[in-house]
Amino acid sequence: MILEKVYNPKKVEEKIYKLWEKSGLFNPDKLPGKRKKTFSIVLPPPNVTGSLHMGHALNATLQDILIRKKRMEGFKTVWVPGTDHAGIATQYVVEKKLKKEGKTRFDLGREKFLKEVKKWVKKYGNIILEQFKKLGCSLDWSRNRFTLDKNYSLAVKTAFLYFFKKGLIYRGKRPINWCKRCKSALSDLEVERKEMNGFLYYIKYPPSIIVATTRPETMLGDVAVAVNPKDKRYKKLVGKKVILPILEKKIPIIKDYRVDPKFGTGAVKITPAHDFVDYEIAKRHKLEMVEVIDEEGRMINVPKEFEGLSTLEAREKIVEILKEKGGLVKIEPYKISLPICYRCKSILEIIPSWQWFLRMEVLAKKAIKAVKTKKVKFVPKKYEKIYFDWLKNVRDWCLSRQIWWGHKIPLKGEKDVLDTWFSSALWPFAVFGWPKKTKDLKKFYPTDVLITGRDIINLWVARMIFCGLEFLKKEPFKIVFINPTVLTKEGKRMSKSLGIGVDPLDLIEKYGADATRFGIVWHVKKGQDLRFDEAFCQTGRKFCNKIWNASRFVLMQIKKETKVPSLKEIEKMKLEREEREILKDLKRTIKETNKLLENFEFGKAAETLYHFFWHRFCDKYIEFSKEKLKNKKTREKTEKILILVLLNSLKLLHPFLPHITEAIYQKLPIKNKKKLLMIENWPKT
């Protein structure tokens, strides 16, 4: 049962993963023994368009650490995998492919286009899940879910119709984010921002006021000028009227608390059709909505000289006319935050459109209460602020998308599909069979922990919470651990498209999955972003070699199958100082590892185990044991301590380094050995 001289992850890791899969023990229903307590996690479903990046690798490794520990602690554990159909993202990928062939989706028509998308998803959609296997993730593949599966589609339809019948979903015309390229509405949370150099135009609205704007072209849709009620400069002007230049139309001066007195002159033009804040102000003051930009980003309902111009062309023309007539007071350079489509990166327009919306006020209050009353806890706590800030100022959620790939709105005659995040919001219970009352739903919902990134706290986490409360009257998880963002060594955000970053698959190829996992986890410090340094994967590889060599040494000493004594049995023996110390260190390490993992301090837990195994066990005790093994009187006791400490070390290290620890465990010559280390009993003090 001797280990090979040199540890080779390529020989070990794939073989061990197949051993786990063949055992079926990722499935909670096949776990041995009576397991009364459950522990469940759902994998944040990656897009079917995705491939493993460092964020996925970190996120999945942390979940695997928790699930492996709980499985060894005797819990009935389930970690549910799955993928998201990713409406706009997947459609965009297939449309790009068609573009190379000189076609558009409209050339194919809806039915043929959807066949093309399905073919693409069948070919590429599960690549990322196979990559999770390379990392060693112990997901229950028998419960793999896809957000367009038949059963999942039933959940989406049920949820929509429930909200609709309750009066929370309505169809209305109001300003939305519109992507000219995708020809679809986007919710606020699907909008990215791009800072660009622009200008602030100061325009005179005769006879008495100057307004500042970054978009003069929208003035053709102005219905008022607004000032802040506390702004003394304009107190006497409120209620009076000014002339809207070019159109020569009278519009009122109103007061509203949403106006920032520090912006420009403190007086702003109100264009409710093309600005979200202006729309809210107009609603409060019962003002009309004048639409002047269409879905193509061209001017409509305007004087003939502007009709059909792009917004930029109209801007240039308006500025020229204002200059000629003396209505342009000045132009200043100004940084503009432009709204960008999160998928195709086109500049968005804000235009009024007939769309389906979900009323958010009541749902937001429920979600806020769940966190305020600590029924859902954020770790680190500071991320509650992002959550509360959005929910307290939330607008109704625009649910409809004018694309073809996704869940069709389940009402007669509707062709639009639902926002992908609507189906994702049902994930923690739809994966267990809701709306059917399944055994899985009863057993595993609510889940225990959600591990995710801070960028989707509002897109996903908040929505899952209010959906869980609405449909099952229970929060979908007890704890939300926000994992750090993986940055480059220099502190820049990793980006495949910009060529900045590291591919975890390259690291796995170079160092092995365990060393990669260890290198990533080593960086995780509570509440801090992670500046990734590949050197820690090298450290992980060296550590794996150390574990292999130390285990090989121990196995070479034990010539026959042996019973591993308990800590208490060993402590009753007559022990030397070094023996007492290693047992004391082992007990302390078990306690510390438990405490650190309970507090989601993964990096510190990895460090604790590293120092214990390398510096206490290898450098001190194994060196001490070499002389004792030569003496017949002390050999047996020394062997017992070696195998006891080694076995407990392998158990503690298993969640972090699953492949190598399992491979060594399979070679241990011990009695009453379990089938696999992954179902061994977690160490106790």
pLDDT one-digit tens code per residue, 445-482? 999 999 999 999 999 999 999 999 999 999 999 999 99
The values of phi and psi at residue 367, to 5°, are -65, -40
Which residues have C-beta within 8 Å of that of residue 394, sequence separation ≥ 6?
Answer: 360, 361, 364
How many Cα atoms sit within 13 Å of 333 on the Cβ side? 2
pLDDT at position 639 = 94
Nearest to 611 by CA among 600, 599, 596: 596
What digits encode the pLDDT tens for the residues 508-523?
Answer: 999 999 999 999 999 8
Alpha-carbon torsion (580, 582, 586, 591), positive or negative: positive
Q: What are residue 341's DSSP bridge partners? A: 191
Average pLDDT, the chain: 94
Q: What is d(CA 488, CA 532) in angstroms, rounded to the nearest whole number? A: 5
- Chain centroid, CA 193 distance in Å: 19
The domain 186-341 is placed in CATH, from the list 3.30.70.20, 3.90.740.10, 3.30.70.3270, 3.40.50.170, at: 3.90.740.10
What digits encode the pLDDT tens for the residues 96-118?
Answer: 899 899 999 999 999 999 999 99
Asked if the model's pLDDT at residue 682 lies above 90, the reply is yes
pLDDT at position 289 = 94
Asked if the model's pLDDT at residue 189 lies above 80, the reply is no
Do 355 and 176 touch, CB atoms closer than 8 A?
Answer: yes
Residue % of the chain over a pLDDT of 70: 99
Nearest to 297 by CA among 223, 355, 215, 377: 215
Which residues have C-beta within 8 Å of that of residue 464, sequence separation ≥ 6?
Answer: 424, 425, 426, 427, 428, 450, 476, 477
Nearest to 357 by CA among 184, 187, 192: 187
Reading the block at residue 251, the tokens are 């519009």
Asked if the model's pLDDT at residue 496 lies above 70, the reply is no
Q: SS3 for 210?
A: strand
Asked if the model's pLDDT at residue 287 lies above 90, the reply is yes
What digits encode the pLDDT tens for the residues 152-161?
Answer: 999 999 999 9
pLDDT at position 1 = 60
Burial of 635 (0-12, 13-18, 19+ CB in 10 A): middle
Do 117 and 2 touch, CB atoms closer than 8 A?
Answer: no
Helices (H), 523-622: 535-557, 567-571, 577-598, 602-611
Q: What is d(CA 277, CA 213) in angstroms, rounded to the nearest whole number? A: 14
Q: What is d(CA 385, CA 466) in angstroms, rounded to the nearest whole number? A: 17
Reading the block at residue 75, the tokens are 């819990």
Q: Which of the four pLDDT bands, split at 50, 70 and 90, describes residue 491?
A: confident
Give the position of tokens 């082992």.
Answer: 586
Give the position of tokens 């992954």.
Answer: 678
CA distances from 74 to 35, 38, 39, 410, 657 (A): 6, 9, 10, 43, 20
Residues 115-136 have a mean pLDDT of: 92
Cα pseudo-dihedral 555, 559, 563, 567, rounded to 10: -50
Q: Which of the four pLDDT bands, split at 50, 70 and 90, describes residue 265?
A: very high
Q: What is d(CA 205, CA 227) in angstroms, rounded to the nearest whole number? A: 14
Which residues have C-beta within 8 Å of that of residue 261, sequence separation ≥ 6?
Answer: 227, 228, 230, 231
Nearest to 338 by CA among 197, 472, 483: 197
Do 174 and 307 touch, CB atoms closer than 8 A?
Answer: no
pLDDT at position 483 = 94
pLDDT at position 342 = 79
Which residues have C-beta within 8 Å of that of residue 475, sequence separation ≥ 6?
Answer: 370, 375, 376, 446, 465, 468, 469
What digits encode the pLDDT tens for the residues 550-582?
Answer: 999 999 999 888 999 999 999 999 999 999 999
Residues 296-303 have a mean pLDDT of: 95
CA distances from 473 to 160, 370, 397, 465, 468 (A): 17, 11, 21, 10, 6
What digits encode the pLDDT tens for the residues 329-362?
Answer: 999 999 999 999 877 888 999 999 999 999 999 9
Residues in the chain: 685
Asked if the model's pLDDT at residue 234 lies above 90, the reply is yes
> 186-341 and 504-679 share one CATH topology?
no
CATH 1.10.730.10 fits 504-679, yes or no: yes
Residues 276-298 have a mean pLDDT of: 94
Global pTM exceeds 0.85: yes
Residues 294-321 have a mean pLDDT of: 95
What digits encode the pLDDT tens for the residues 16-59?
Answer: 999 999 999 999 999 998 999 999 999 999 999 888 889 999 99
What digits encode the pLDDT tens for the residues 372-401?
Answer: 999 999 999 999 999 999 999 898 999 999
Reading the block at residue 136, the tokens are 């060693």
What digits encode the pLDDT tens for the residues 49-101?
Answer: 888 889 999 999 999 999 999 999 999 999 999 999 988 889 989 988 998 99
Strands (E), 56-117: 76-80, 82-83
What digits encode the pLDDT tens for the residues 592-648?
Answer: 999 999 999 999 999 999 999 999 999 999 999 999 999 999 999 999 999 999 999
pLDDT at position 343 = 75
Reading the block at residue 581, the tokens are 């110390």
CA distances from 590 to 284, 507, 550, 637, 640 (A): 61, 30, 19, 22, 19
CA distances from 559 to 86, 562, 639, 653 (A): 57, 9, 10, 25
Do 348 and 186 touch, CB atoms closer than 8 A?
Answer: yes
The domain 31-58+76-162+379-483 is placed in CATH, from the list 3.40.50.2300, 3.30.160.150, 3.40.30.10, 3.40.50.620, at: 3.40.50.620
Domain boundaries, the chain: 31-58+76-162+379-483, 186-341, 504-679
Q: Which of the four pLDDT bands, split at 50, 70 and 90, describes residue 497?
A: low
